[in-house]
């Protein structure tokens, strides 16, 4: 007999009854606030075209890197669960893939995927029994049927999810057609873009040269000239702002910045263009570009997001076969104190600049990030990210950051996801964990409950709007 599935109203709250009661009251104030999603990776085509999503495997399983990582780690071939490779889409039968996943769902116990997916199953699809080998087909059929209805098309879900704003992320060579179409469509949903220049900023990116050519085409600038290249960035930032962008995003492997003279920067740029550079020079070039982007942000007001620390494609064999984002990206020890100094020496006290820092290295929370954000007016801290975007990870973030940086040098939650259906689940987890943290502060008489209530609303709603200038 299948196990019943239900989401307990008190999930993620501390077990102590007194503290739990406080958490419940705080959460009650923020549960139904609209969702601000200022950083993520959903596909704008969904909202411009508003087509039906595909089958359950295509929508929920194959694109979710949390899922195929774990399954692969236990010896399950990625192709068998619907993940395509460089030679084309997976040939796995979607239902067979789903069954394979369902039979291994126990692997996700106590992971965030367990929380997110069960939330989606209950709230989005109305499931009442737990996912397992026995219920795989029931799940598949129920979800598949739902996805064929209008109530489950992207815009309908966007409204149902009570999303006030959703940001996607696009490359500097993107035409932004989908964003233009969304705006032209008259649909009132607020979907905006963010400027992520990595492909034309990282000389070691496998598509750097071809991206530069596209960059020239889309801007009409001579991007092989340093001034033309910088102008191309300026133009594209304006293009992005025209479809709602209020932020840029930078996913370098380190947080290194540089502050070269324009003559030296230009010289380095010429080496980079010729492909005649050392890894150190590539690193300096990326670091210089962060400082250039900060300068442009002072001009045009875009908020910078720096997401360092991902060692991409660690598994060479898997990368060769499956390509980017599947090759076992892993976190990397990250320094901020020395890395950010060149940029901060130049712009760290400029009231026009705002930089949101993220990390995959939790050891920097108390040691580097909170002390930096607790001093520099240009710095704020993004929420716990990716591998740490989880109840324990979020709690460690608050525990290790708050005492030095306070709540007001943080920016609320980012879901950072391409899994659109999980967005309410993820924001719900964040709101519950923040309520739990604040409840402990109140229960330990470190904060009055009315102060905690103000903070709860700020974290869930006001801070992201303010930090991202929305």
Question: Of 373, 421, 456, 460, which one interacts with a copy of itself (CB under 8 A)?
Answer: 373
For the bound state, the minimum distance from the C-beta of residue 50 to a copy of itself, rounded and expressed in Å, comes to 34
Question: Of 2, 3, 209, 222, which one interacts with a copy of itself (CB under 8 A)?
Answer: 3
Nearer to a copy of itself, 110 or 263 (CB): 110
Tokens representing 461 are 């709603």
Q: Which stretch binds a copy of itself (CB under 8 A): 51-59, 212-220, 398-406, 460-468?
A: 398-406
Q: Which stretch binds a copy of itself (CB under 8 A): 3-11, 181-189, 233-241, 280-288?
A: 3-11
E-state strands within 264-373: 303-306, 310-311, 330-331, 355-357
User: Among all chains, which residue has been given the structure tokens 């520099």?
Assistant: 376
Tokens representing 212 are 């530069």
Q: Does residue 117 sit in helix, strand or coil?
A: helix
User: DSSP character for 314?
Assistant: -
Question: Of 124, 255, 344, 421, which one interacts with a copy of itself (CB under 8 A)?
Answer: 344
Q: Should residue 393 be labelled a site residue for a copy of itself when binding is judged by CB under 8 A?
A: yes
Question: Of 149, 209, 262, 349, which one interacts with a copy of itself (CB under 8 A)?
Answer: 349
Question: Of 86, 106, 148, 213, which one interacts with a copy of itself (CB under 8 A)?
Answer: 106
Q: Should residue 279 be labelled a site residue for a copy of itself when binding is judged by CB under 8 A?
A: no
Q: Should residue 372 be labelled a site residue for a copy of itself when binding is judged by CB under 8 A?
A: yes
Nearer to a copy of itself, 12 or 356 (CB): 12
- Among 104, 105, 149, smallest CA distance to 125 is for 149
410 close to 93: Cβ distance less than 8 angstroms: no
Question: Of 231, 254, 404, 462, which one interacts with a copy of itself (CB under 8 A)?
Answer: 404
Q: Should residue 409 be labelled a site residue for a copy of itself when binding is judged by CB under 8 A?
A: yes
Tokens representing 41 are 């990776």
Site string for a copy of itself, 148-187 (x = CB under 8 A): ----------------------------------------
Q: Should residue 361 be labelled a site residue for a copy of itself when binding is judged by CB under 8 A?
A: yes
Question: Of 1, 88, 109, 186, which one interacts with a copy of itself (CB under 8 A)?
Answer: 109
Q: Should residue 226 be labelled a site residue for a copy of itself when binding is judged by CB under 8 A?
A: no
Q: Should residue 405 be labelled a site residue for a copy of itself when binding is judged by CB under 8 A?
A: yes
131 close to 121: Cβ distance less than 8 angstroms: yes
For the bound state, the minimum distance from the C-beta of residue 361 to a copy of itself, rounded and expressed in Å, comes to 6
Q: Should residue 112 be labelled a site residue for a copy of itself when binding is judged by CB under 8 A?
A: yes
For the bound state, the minimum distance from the C-beta of residue 355 to a copy of itself, rounded and expressed in Å, comes to 12
Question: Of 1, 87, 88, 110, which one interacts with a copy of itself (CB under 8 A)?
Answer: 110
Spatial CB neighbours of 383, under 8 Å, sequence gap ≥ 6:
358, 389, 394, 397, 410, 411, 412, 413, 414, 430
d(CA 22, CA 19) in angstroms, rounded, equals 5
Q: Should residue 80 be labelled a site residue for a copy of itself when binding is judged by CB under 8 A?
A: no
Half-sphere exposure of 396 (CA within 13 A, CB side): 17
d(CA 47, CA 168) in angstroms, rounded, equals 11
Question: Of 330, 418, 465, 466, which one interacts with a copy of itself (CB under 8 A)?
Answer: 330
The CA dihedral of 224, 228, 230, 236, to the nearest 10 degrees, is: -100
For the bound state, the minimum distance from the C-beta of residue 420 to a copy of itself, rounded and expressed in Å, comes to 22
Q: Does residue 127 sit in helix, strand or coil?
A: coil
Nearer to a copy of itself, 70 or 181 (CB): 70
- Report 127-146 residues binding a copy of itself (CB under 8 A): 130
- Rounded to 10 deg, the angle between the 262-274 and 279-300 helix axes is 130
Bridge partner list, 195: 170, 248
Q: Should residue 69 be labelled a site residue for a copy of itself when binding is judged by CB under 8 A?
A: yes
Q: Should residue 204 be labelled a site residue for a copy of itself when binding is judged by CB under 8 A?
A: no
Buried-exposed string 321-357: b where 16+ CB fall within 10 A, e elsewhere: ebeeebbbbebeebebeebbebbbeebbeeeebbbbb
Nearer to a copy of itself, 15 or 263 (CB): 15
Bridge partner list, 79: none
Residue 454: Cβ-neighbour burial (10 angstroms; 0-12, 13-18, 19+): middle
Judged by CB under 8 A, the number of residues near a copy of itself is: 92
- Rounded to 10 deg, the angle between the 136-147 and 94-103 helix axes is 130
First to last CA, the chain: 49
Question: Of 388, 426, 427, 431, which one interacts with a copy of itself (CB under 8 A)?
Answer: 388
Q: Which stretch binds a copy of itself (CB under 8 A): 50-58, 140-148, 206-214, 439-447?
A: 439-447
Question: Of 10, 134, 164, 207, which one interacts with a copy of itself (CB under 8 A)?
Answer: 10
Q: Which stretch binds a copy of itself (CB under 8 A): 166-174, 180-188, 260-268, 312-320?
A: 312-320
d(CA 38, CA 224) in angstroms, rounded, equals 32
């Amino acid at each position: 007999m299948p196990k019943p599935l239900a989401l307990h109203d008190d999930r993620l709250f501390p077990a102590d009854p007194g503290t739990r009661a406080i958490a419940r009251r705080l959460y009650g104030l923020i549960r139904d606030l609209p969702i601000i999603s200022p950083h993520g990776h959903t596909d704008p085509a969904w909202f411009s075209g508003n087509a039906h999503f595909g089958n359950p495997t295509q929508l929920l399983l194959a694109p979710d890197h949390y899922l195929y990582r774990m399954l692969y780690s236990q010896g399950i071939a990625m192709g068998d669960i619907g993940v395509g490779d460089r030679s084309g889409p997976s040939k796995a039968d979607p239902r067979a893939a789903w069954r394979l996943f369902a039979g291994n769902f126990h692997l996700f116990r106590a992971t965030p995927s367990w929380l997110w997916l069960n939330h989606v199953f209950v709230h989005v699809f109305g499931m009442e029994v737990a996912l397992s080998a026995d219920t795989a087909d029931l799940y598949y059929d129920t979800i598949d049927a739902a996805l064929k209805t209008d109530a489950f098309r992207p815009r309908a879900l966007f409204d149902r999810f009570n999303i006030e704003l959703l940001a996607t992320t696009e490359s500097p060579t993107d035409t932004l057609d989908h964003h233009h179409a969304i705006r032209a469509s008259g649909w009132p949903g607020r979907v905006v873009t963010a400027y992520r220049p990595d492909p034309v900023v990282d000389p070691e990116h496998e598509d750097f040269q071809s991206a530069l050519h596209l960059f020239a085409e889309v801007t009409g600038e001579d991007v092989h000239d340093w001034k033309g290249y910088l102008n191309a960035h300026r133009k594209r930032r304006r293009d992005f702002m025209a479809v709602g962008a209020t932020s840029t995003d930078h996913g370098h492997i380190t947080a290194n910045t540089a502050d070269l003279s324009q003559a030296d920067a230009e010289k380095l740029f010429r080496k980079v263009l010729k492909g005649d550079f050392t890894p150190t020079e590539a690193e300096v070039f990326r670091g210089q570009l962060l400082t250039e982007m900060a300068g442009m942000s002072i001009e045009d007001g875009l908020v910078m997001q720096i997401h360092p620390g991902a060692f991409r494609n660690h598994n060479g064999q898997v990368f060769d076969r499956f390509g980017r984002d599947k090759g076992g990206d892993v976190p990397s020890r990250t320094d901020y104190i020395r890395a950010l100094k060149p940029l901060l020496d130049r712009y760290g006290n400029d009231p026009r600049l705002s930089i949101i820092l993220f990390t995959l290295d939790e050891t920097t929370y108390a040691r580097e990030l909170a002390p930096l954000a607790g001093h520099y007016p240009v710095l704020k801290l993004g929420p716990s990210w990716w591998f740490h975007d989880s109840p324990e990870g979020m709690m460690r973030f608050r525990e290790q950051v708050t005492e030095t940086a306070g709540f007001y040098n943080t920016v609320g939650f980012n879901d950072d996801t391409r899994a659109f259906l999980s967005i309410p689940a993820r924001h719900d987890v964040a709101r519950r964990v923040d309520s739990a943290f604040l409840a402990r502060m109140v229960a330990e008489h470190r904060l009055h409950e009315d102060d905690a209530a103000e903070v709860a609303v700020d974290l869930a709603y006001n801070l992201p709007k303010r930090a991202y200038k929305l």
